[in-house]
Each structure stands twice: as C-alpha cells, then as structure tokens.
Amino acid sequence: MHYVSTRATSASASRNPQEFSNILLAGLAPDGGLYLPAEYPQVSSAELDTWRTLSYADLAFEILRKFATDIPEADLKILVSKTYTPQVYKNARAGDAAADITPLRVLEEADGKTLILQALSNGPTLAFKDMAMQLLGNLFEYTLAKDEAQLNIFGATSGDTGSAAEYAMRGKRGVKVFMLSPHNKMSQFQTAQMFSLQDANIYNIAVEGVFDDCQDMVKAVSNDLAFKARHRIGTVNSINWARVVAQVVYYFRGYLAATSDNSQKVSFTVPSGNFGNICAGHIARMMGLPIDKLVAATNENDVLDEFFRTGVYRVRKSAETYHTSSPSMDISKASNFERFIYDLVGRDAARTHALFTKVETHGGFDLSGAPGSDGDEFKLVRKYGFQSGRSTHQDRLATIRDVEDDYGITIDPHTADGIKVAREHQVAGVPMIVLETALAAKFNEIILDALGMDAVRPAGFENIEALPQKFIVMGADVAAMKSYIAKNTAL
Ligand SMILES: *Cc1c(COP(=O)(O)O)cnc(C)c1O
C-alpha cells in the first residue's frame, strides 16, 4: 500500500509514493497536501461476514494490515492487541460491556426508525481521540525502538487532543511531549487530567494567552525547519494519517454490531470539527462498507454544514469563530476536508491544489455550479452519502435534557449536537448510529446548566482536581519556548 499527497502532480515535491511508516511521523506532505492511500483497499461481502465474530482488536488488525503493509503482521498484531483491550477502555457506562471497546446502545426504536449511540469515549481521557491516539503511542514507540530514535512531540491543545496525546505517550521510550495550553482557560477537569501526570517525559506548558497564541507558537517553531530537525520535533495533530485510519475501524465495528447481514445499511451521524472523524467514515464507505448516509453535525461554527447544504466552502476568520458549549468543535476551517475534496473532484491533484490555494488567497471556494463558481462537483456530494445539520447552545441543553429524561443516560454537549442533527435525518429501515465523542464528566459545567446536577464520573476520576499538578507557566514568547525545548531535549 502506497500513499500519495492530495496535491501530488508529476511536478510536485511529493510525487514519490510513500510507505505507511514513512508518513507515520509526518504532518503535511512537502507540497502542502495531505496523504491518502493511492487506492482504497476493498472489502468483499464474504470478508465482511468473516469479521462479524471478531473481537475489536482482531477487527482492527484485519483492517490495519491492509493499510500498514510495511509493518510485519506479527508485530502489528501485538501492537493492536495491546492498544484495544478492556483494561484501556474501562470507562463504559453501567450496563455497557467494556470488552466491546465501542459498545452500542439502542436509544429508541419507533416507526421503523432506530437510534443508536456508539460509545467511543471509554478510554483513559474520556474522549474519542483516545481511539486513535493510543494506537499512535504504541506505533511511535515501536518504530522509534527499531531505529533507536527519539521524537519530541510539540503541540497546542484547547483540551481533548492534549490529554489524549499525553496519556498515549506517557512513559513511552524515545518520546517526549511538550504540550501548550492556554493558562486557566481549560475546564478544571481537563486541566487536572493533563497537569496531574507526573511522568518524566510529559511537559505541560501553560501559556499566558488564548488557544490561538499557543497555536501561533507551535507554528513559529514548526516553521523553523533547522530547529525542528535539530530537536527531532514532530506533531500529532488531526491531519495525521495514522489517526484517521485508526478511526476507520469503529465504523466497521458499529456496522457489524448493528446489522445481521450485509444487505442491510446503516447511517452515521458524527459531531464534527476538523473533519477527521467523519473522514474515516468516508474511507470505510469507499472500502465497501454498506453505509447509507454520513451526516456531519456542527455547532454554531457551521463551515461544514454550509458546504454540505450549498457547495460553498468558506473558512471563518478568528473573529467569526464562536466560543461555544461544544468547544472541541469550535473550528474556523476543517483541516482534513481536503482529503474528501480530492475524492470528490475525481482525485485530480492539480485541481485540489488550485482549490486549496484559493482557500489561502480568497478564503474559500464554490463548487455549487452557479455562474462564476469554481466547479459543479457539489452535485456528486449525495453520491458519497453526505448530509449535514447544525445545532445551537439551546439545542444542546434541550437535547441533553431529553436524552436524560427519555433514556436515563447523560450525554456530553458534543454528542448532543450529534443526536439533535441525527433526529433530523433518520429514515425508516436504516438504523442511525450517533458517535459519542466524549463522556459528560469532561464537560460538567454544561451538564450542570442543562440538568442542575453533576455528571457521574467514572471510577478513579472522583478527586482528580485534588491531585498534585506538574506544569510551568510561560509568556507567549517564542524564543523562551525554544530555549526551554532545547534544554529539555538535550541527550
Ligand atoms: C475533537 C473532537 C470533535 C471533532 O472531531 P473532528 O475529528 O475534529 O471532526 C468532536 N467532539 C469531541 C468531544 C472532540 O474532542
């Protein structure tokens, strides 16, 4: 299996196809594009049948071996077995089986319509990002050990990504994590999750500023290529291919758990921000999984909903980006969207390059086919199953209350965006699976607003705020940051 850049024309810097291990530690391709498989591996109906009885880990192995063809299968098998075990995904809600890793729960069956919740947030940091990041931690350790190499991960977080990365990399040989977060801006729970880690290879840096200041510092350091190379700095942001492909597995799992034979279809609704999660659903569908609709749910930051309604992709300025009560979906542009557009325009890399250059120069593009637009490929969007919807703060509160009253379970505000939009797209005869992207305990402030009571915390998280914290506070000063990294990465 080879990987190509979405911008790889014969003249471009990334025309050489890459192996999985080569792009594992890479972010963007040298030409600025994103990596995708040269073609999607296909899964036959007969093969899908043989997967119906597999454990999550064995299913993950069957899928990942089609993509990570340069990792010896015996090694890959060990890596996925230690990643997807009930000991890691032990935070299932009462009544769900931790051994399922991503247990399904039918919320409602009426008039031929079935609404299902697939829990993806039972891992160590209570958000779906663990599903991919835990695998990444084990893959990094494995490849670094082979080369006796070191990797220093440098990133910025507003909450979920940073904690998932730190819990995945803590104690891993050859890896250090430097994670910037805005000082005093994360929820108390998120802060405690990250800062209570005492592992020597984890460096929490609270920056006096907002999330954008943190991200600007990461960009400034990343743009200094000499510094990056000298200090072996890498990233684990949402465009990382290994993260996307790890997420493909739970779409297969959800489908197989919700159906009894392959003539049936299901739809998925996905609370979306950077388009990483739902992009994995698109890939599962391209591999032959019988998915009917893929519904992107957004909050007030509705860049994606606007595109899937109109064909116009218009990124937002930071002043136009709202701080909402589903903060992990507060994005101004969707960094994985280029992967889908590449497929939508018939895998035409020159055209993908032109469209995303226009995003840089003009803030977006228009594929609606209207006079003066950039193309008419929007008419193909439904062929790929995509639909969308948005929700507001009031919708979230109302949905959290409804779900609590009707089904007796507490959902987090991002999942509430999903349920609200899913209900607008349900059809009889096709089960609708909503992906649960975080557990409510992580966003207790909103749960208190909606329900007037605290979210239940999984065992072990009861007193997390009282644990000793390890972090340093730093101004938004790039030079100071560089010397801190240099000092702490010296061998
Ligand atoms: C990251 C995140 C999302 C958005 O996922 P994308 O892959 O960026 O679309 C949604 N909900 C929660 C809780 C998240 O942490």
CATH number, domain containing residue 386: 3.40.50.1100
Kindly provide the b/e burial profile for residues 264-285, where b requires at least 16 CB atoms within 10 angstroms of the residue's own CB: ebbbbbbbbbbbbbbbbbbbbb
Pocket test for ligand 1, best of 414, 419, 439, 444 (most atoms within 8 A of CB): 414
Please give the backbone phi and psi of residue 32, each rounded to the nearest 5 degrees, phi first: 90, -5
Q: Which residues of 341-355 are buried (b: 16+ CB within 10 A; e: fewer)?
A: bbbbbeebbebbbeb
DSSP assignment, residue 194?
H
Q: How far apart are CA 228 and CA 219, in angstroms?
A: 11
The atom number, within ligand 1, closest to the CA of 278 reads: 9
Q: Residue 398 falls within a domain, yes or no?
A: yes
The model's pLDDT over 477-488, given as tens digits with 9 standing for 90+, comes to: 999 999 999 999
* Six-digit token string for 253: 């799992």
**Is residue 238 lining ligand 1, measured as CB closer than 6 Å?**
yes
Residue of 121, 386, 437 with the most ligand 1 atoms within 8 Å of its CB, for mutation: 437
For residue 393, tell me if it sits in a domain.
yes
Rounded CA separation 59/384 (Å): 24
CA dihedral 301, 306, 312, 315 (to 10 degrees): 0
Cα dihedral 35, 37, 38, 43 in deg (nearest 10): -160
8 Å CB contact between 416 and 439: no
Is the CB of residue 274 below 6 angstroms from any atom belonging to ligand 1?
A: yes
Predicted confidence at residue 480, as pLDDT, reads 95
* pLDDT tens string 153-166: 999 998 789 999 99
C-alpha 75 – ligand 1 centre gap (Å): 30
* Interatomic CA distance for residues 467 and 22, integer angstroms: 39
> Does a structural domain hold residue 34?
no
Measured N-to-C along each axis, helices 393-407 and 413-425 cross at an angle, to the nearest 10 degrees, of 80
Contact of 101 with 132, CB cutoff 8 Å: no
Q: Are 267 and 235 in contact (CB under 8 A)?
A: no
| Domains of the chain: total | 1
- From the CB of 273, is ligand 1 less than 6 Å away? yes
Q: What is the largest CA-CA distance in the chain?
A: 64
Mutate to test the pocket of ligand 1, among 157, 240, 272, 308 (most ligand atoms within 8 A of CB): 272
Q: Could you tell me if residue 421 is inside a domain?
A: yes
- Which residue out of 66, 113, 129, 317 is catalytically annotated? 129
Nearest to 298 by CA among 461, 453, 460, 420: 420
Any domain includes 420: yes
Ligand 1 contact via 299 beta carbon (within 6 Å)? no
Helices 129-147 and 160-169: crossing angle in degrees, nearest 10, is: 40
Residue nearest to atom 2 of ligand 1 (CA): 328
Q: For the purposes of burial, counting CB atoms within 10 Å of the CB of 30, is it exposed (0-12), middle (13-18) or buried (19 or more)?
A: middle
What is the domain range of residue 263?
A: 102-126+244-451
Residue 238 and residue 387: Cα distance in Å, rounded?
A: 22
**Regions of the chain with pLDDT less than 70:** 11-15, 491
Q: Is 185 in the active site?
A: no
Q: Whose CA is nearest to atom 11 of ligand 1?
A: 437
Say what the pLDDT of residue 236 is: 87
Residue 184 lies in a domain: no
Q: Is residue 166 part of a domain?
A: no
The DSSP code sequence of 67-84 is T-TTS-HHHHHHHHHHHS
**Residue 355 placed within a domain:** yes
